[in-house]
């Protein structure tokens, strides 16, 4: 195919090159996925804070009402959600430190990928003992 204006060849995109008519989906890299995880953990933490304010406000209805609400936290499902909350807080904090390093030390952008994987490594390393401790408590609650 030739360009009408210049008479030279025109670049032509074929459907098979780019996965059909829709093109290729952006697969993301460390920056995109850490951004998504940071925002998701932020939302989860805020939802917990809202629930915490509500369950603490129940004390206004008397100690019996408060004790009933707090008894819900002995449920193994809620114990699992607490483990998820701890994971969110730890990831959010570690990723926040990584973001501050990149923001305040411009040369850190040269090691962006290493910093992202370092953050994930620290997160996994810190969650192993926490999961063991909290997981044992959840299992004991399930067994009765």
Q: Taking a C-beta distance cutoff of 8 angstroms, is the pair 70, 114 a contact?
A: no
Query: Measuring CA to CA, which residue among 127, 135, 138, 129 is closest to residue 91?
Result: 127
State the Cα torsion 111-117-44-129 to the nearest 10°: -140
State the Cα torsion 113-93-89-31 to the nearest 10°: -30
Q: What is the pTM of this model?
A: 0.76
Annotate 13-55 with three-state secondary structure. Answer: CCCCCCCCCCCCCCCCCHHHHHHHHHHHHHHHHHHHHHHHHHH
Per-residue pLDDT at 134:
96
- The β-bridge partners of 2 are 9
Per-residue pLDDT at 81:
95
Token pair of 14 as six digits:
């074929």
Token pair of 42 as six digits:
């932020």
Condensed to tens digits (0 to 9), the pLDDT of residues 41-97 reads 999 999 999 999 998 899 899 999 999 988 988 899 999 999 999 999 999 999 999
């Amino acid at each position: 195919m030739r360009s009408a204006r210049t008479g030279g060849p025109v670049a032509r995109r074929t459907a098979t090159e780019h996965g059909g008519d829709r093109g290729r989906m952006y697969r993301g890299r460390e920056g995109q996925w850490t951004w998504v995880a940071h925002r998701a953990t932020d939302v989860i933490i805020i939802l917990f804070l809202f629930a915490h304010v509500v369950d603490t406000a129940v004390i206004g209805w008397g100690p019996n009402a408060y004790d009933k609400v707090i008894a819900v936290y002995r449920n193994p499902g809620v114990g699992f959600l607490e483990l998820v909350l701890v994971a969110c807080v730890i990831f959010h904090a570690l990723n926040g430190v990584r973001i501050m390093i990149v923001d305040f030390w411009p040369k850190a952008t040269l090691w962006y990928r290493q910093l992202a994987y370092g953050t994930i490594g620290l997160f996994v390393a810190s969650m192993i003992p926490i999961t063991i401790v909290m997981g044992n408590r959840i299992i004991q609650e399930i067994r009765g």
